[in-house]
A = this chain, B = another copy of it.
Amino acid sequence: MAALLSSWNDTPTRKTILDFVVRVTDETGPQFVPPEERIAVFDNDGTLWCEKPAYIQLFFAIARLKEMAEVDSTLLKKPAFKAAAAGDMGYFAALYPNDLPSLMQVVFDSHAGMTQAEFEKMAYDYLSHTQHPRFGVPYKQCIYQPMVALMDYLRSHDFKVFITSAGGMSFVRTVSEEIYGIPRENVIGSNVTFEVGRQADRLILLRKPGLVDPADDGPGKPVNIELHIGRPPILAAGNANGDIEMLEFAQASGRPFLNMLLHHDDAEREYAYDQGAEKALQLAAERDWQLISMKKDWQTVFTF
């Protein structure tokens, strides 16, 4: 609780969180939820780490496409490779939000064919060493301290905390234990699938092109939560339209629940934008989901 206090301001939002945890953990109270059902889910991009000026994994994919085109210039005939080589972020920005499937295909196929071990090394190195263009620190440091503190706080009250990312599950897992204290198996996300191969008679996993269906966005979030966890969350936090169904899943469970939506309203310390969250913000107002104002509710944003 001390940790939660230190990075959250003393606002109604903080009180709502603390009250909810007290209610569901009070064994003698009417809203008690047993520990095995205390599932909490957090979106990742824009909820736990910064998603501006673009998704971190998009930068990672672009770097890979550029690298591949340097080795094989015939790839430049393909628009994604051409845009990556030219540093044309506008090409990728135009794919979102109108053609998210195409964007995801570009992102995920950029590392197809390699072994999972190679991918993990590449992703970990990228997140640990490539700097955010504005903040000048490695991407893995661009995480919201109050959310990390909230996840700690929930775990200390016997919640099971999961990440439900629309971005790459394997990508986030390479750093989840280090930066969030969330074990790999508690990270759900969109992902490629794998096939079993052999290397010198040893079994290896190769990354296949194409995504596991459904991608972990929008209606795919409840589906993946059911597949990976097997019960609905009682606490769900997101920041964008792709999180709506996940929040609805918590609301539909018939149990006490707390839904939260992080509002990016702090251009000074992070970014201020509603794009991609318009409908979620509207529903939050209609359904009494708790809005988190980055500007008002958080004493600190990052640790750097």
Contacts and interface: CB of A to CB of B under 8 A. Distances in A.
Interface of A: 36, 116, 160, 162, 169-170, 173, 177, 183-187, 191, 193-196, 202-205, 212-214, 219, 222-223, 226-231, 245, 248-249, 251-252
Nearest to A192: B227
B226 A213 contact: no
B227 A191 contact: yes
B252 A202 contact: yes
Contact of A252 (B183, B204, B251): B204
Contacts of A203: 222, 245, 248-249, 251-252
Nearest to A173: B230
A193 B205 contact: no
B226 A228 contact: no
A195 B191 CA distance: 18
Given A177-B36, A248-B203, A231 B184 contact: yes
A182 to B, nearest CB: 11
B252 A184 contact: no
A230 B183 CA distance: 9
**Residue in A185, A229, A249 whose Cβ sees the most chain B Cβ within 10 Å:** A185
A222 B196 CA distance: 8
A275 to B, nearest CB: 24
Nearest to A248: B203
B193 A214 contact: yes
Given A191-B227, A202-B251, A202-B252, 19 more contacts: A36-B177, A160-B183, A160-B185, A170-B230, A173-B230, A184-B229, A185-B186, A185-B230, A193-B213, A193-B214, A194-B222, A194-B223, A194-B227, A195-B219, A196-B223, A203-B245, A203-B248, A203-B249, A204-B252
